[in-house]
């Protein structure tokens, strides 16, 4: 069984990976290497890759059955809902290992917009959530 420690260890090992690097390409190749591809889409090296990163972590740690695979954040939320692991009431404090999604649109209120970014919670302390994310400023 996959543990939070295993997933976070793998995520931390990718800190500093930048878009276009050999390790970034390996992340994308790992995502694309599991068939069938979600929605039949092969992620390219120039695509946004935050969710491909999360999915590659799941592949590397054997957690695909737990969280699924996807390259589109909003579609990944649908997978989380199907698996019964999606919580969206705004009252839950995340914990290390939780997957967290973001909606960067200023015009929407909490929980009603299109999710466009995803990461994994590393820690929560004093009301601050620290995450590890692919494709933040073109890096992990």
- In this predicted model, what pLDDT tens digit does every residue of 80-109 receive, in sequence order? 999 999 988 777 899 999 999 988 776 655
Are 19 and 138 in contact, with CB atoms under 8 Å apart?
Answer: yes
Mean pLDDT of 68-76: 96
Alpha-carbon gap, residue 135 to 140, rounded angstroms: 6
pLDDT digits (tens, 9 = 90+) for 20-44: 999 999 999 999 999 999 999 999 9
- Is the per-residue pLDDT at 131 higher than 60? yes
What is the reported pLDDT for 109? 58
Sheet-wide strand order for 128-132: 99-102, 117-125, 128-132
Q: How confident is the model at residue 1 (pLDDT cuts 50, 70, 90)?
A: confident
Helical segments of the chain, H only: 4-13, 22-32, 50-61, 64-67, 73-83
Is the pLDDT at 48 greater than 70? The verdict is yes
Residue percentage of the chain with pLDDT more than 70: 95
């Amino acid at each position: 069984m996959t543990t939070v420690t295993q997933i976070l260890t793998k995520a931390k090992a990718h800190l500093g990976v930048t878009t276009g690097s050999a390790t970034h390409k390996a992340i994308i190749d790992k995502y694309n290497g599991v068939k069938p591809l979600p929605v039949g889409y092969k992620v390219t090296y120039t695509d946004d890759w935050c969710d491909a990163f999360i999915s590659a972590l799941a592949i590397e740690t054997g957690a695909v059955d737990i969280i699924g695979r996807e390259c589109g954040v909003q579609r990944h939320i649908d997978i989380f809902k199907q698996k019964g692991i999606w919580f969206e009431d705004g009252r839950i404090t995340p914990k290390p290992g939780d997957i967290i999604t973001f909606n960067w649109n200023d015009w929407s209120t909490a929980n009603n917009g299109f999710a466009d970014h995803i990461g994994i919670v590393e820690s929560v302390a004093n009301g601050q959530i620290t995450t590890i994310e692919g494709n933040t400023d073109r890096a992990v």
